[in-house]
A and B are shown apart, each in its own frame.
Chain A
Amino acid sequence: MNSNEIYNLLKSFFPDAVIDYKDDKPVEPYIIVSAKEIDKICLFLRDEENLQFDYLSCLSSVDFDNDNLAAVYNLYSFVHNHKLNIKVIVPKSDPVIKTVSSVWNTANWHEREAYDLMGIIFDEHPDFRRILLPDDWEGYPLRKDYKVQEFYNGMKVPY
């Protein structure tokens, strides 16, 4: 199935949660969905007979624009050999997304990374901590307005 058909199918099942479909070249087509229902949609995508997206290739966090963050899910299906991109956009003031780590185990670490570097909070995640940076680190480095701290544990950070 191509992304457009999947979009129509999703729209019929989740009329409120599926927000938009974008397909302007050279961007790969993607579907925008709501942050509150992403887990249900993902479960549906994984288990529906003719979708079967059983593989989460990648989950990226993006500093979308001045007020919004985004999470991008790249899905793949071993069974049907098709791909799908999903985007979730959340405001910087309240960056909360439902976790999908119960759907795909991969998401567990990817979500922790997204939290660590971008500060997106994944709701109901089983083990929600920083992953790469130390626990007592300040700030989220990949945000565009990030200012590096002067000292960490008595060690000077900038050159």
Chain B
Amino acid sequence: MRYLNRLDSKIKQYEHGNFVVTSVDKFLNWARLSSMWQMTFGLACCAIEMMATSASHYDFDRFGIIPRPSPRHADMIIISGTVTLKMATRIKKLYDQMPEPKYIISMGSCSNCGGPYWEHGYHVLKGIDRIIPVDVYVPGCPPRPEALLEGVLKLQDKIRNQSTYKKNKA
């Protein structure tokens, strides 16, 4: 119950039954945002910070983020590093393999806009958003683990406010 209260303070609980009343949207969103499985996928230097974030000191698991090796198990992908043109087609493929709903965090300047390689990087894709949609951009080169965690929290916010019902109606 404690957890459900977090979901919505106005949640209704009945005294004798084991049930609560809430809206479908809120329930789904709650389930989604508290277990975002992430695809294990490192690209460049930022991946090291991502690893550090999931290791002992910063601990990703508290947000329900568990690395999964296969895109078909994953809800979220963190693009952590420089996307080269040779890699870009592969990332697109991986993205297409993920089941809906899927979320993307673009971590680091490189995947936001090309980063330090924007000018002379003939083989660098200047921004992952040229091939796949991005939900949250985390700036930095590399972003500190705290910044990445902030990005994850922002993504959770985003999920909390989305509506499955309205989307389908529209």
Contacts and interface: CB of A to CB of B under 8 A. Distances in A.
Contact of A155 (B114, B118, B119, B125): B125
Interface string A134-159: 10000001000010100011011111
Contacts of B89: 153
A153 B122 CA distance: 14
B66 to A, nearest CB: 32
A152 B86 CA distance: 9
Contacts of B122: 141, 146, 148, 157
A155 B86 contact: no
The dominant DSSP class at the B interface is loop
Nearest to A141: B122
A133 interface: yes
B134 interface: no
A132 B118 CA distance: 19
Interface string B86-127: 101100000000000000000000000010001100110110
B43 to A, nearest CB: 16
B85 interface: yes
B86 to A, nearest CB: 5
Interface residues of A, number: 13
Interface class of chain A by DSSP:
loop
A133 B86 CA distance: 7
A6 B89 CA distance: 50
B131 A155 contact: yes
Contact of B85 (A141, A146, A155, A159): A155
B130 interface: yes
Interface string B65-94: 000000000000000000001101100000
A152 B85 contact: yes
Contacts of A152: 85
A155 B83 CA distance: 12
Interface of A: 132-134, 141, 146, 148, 152-153, 155-159
Give the top 7 A-B pairs by smallest Cβ distance, nearest first: A148-B122, A159-B126, A134-B86, A159-B118, A152-B85, A141-B122, A155-B88
16 contacts: A132-B123, A134-B85, A141-B123, A146-B122, A152-B85, A155-B85, A155-B130, A155-B131, A156-B126, A156-B130, A157-B85, A157-B122, A159-B114, A159-B118, A159-B119, A159-B126
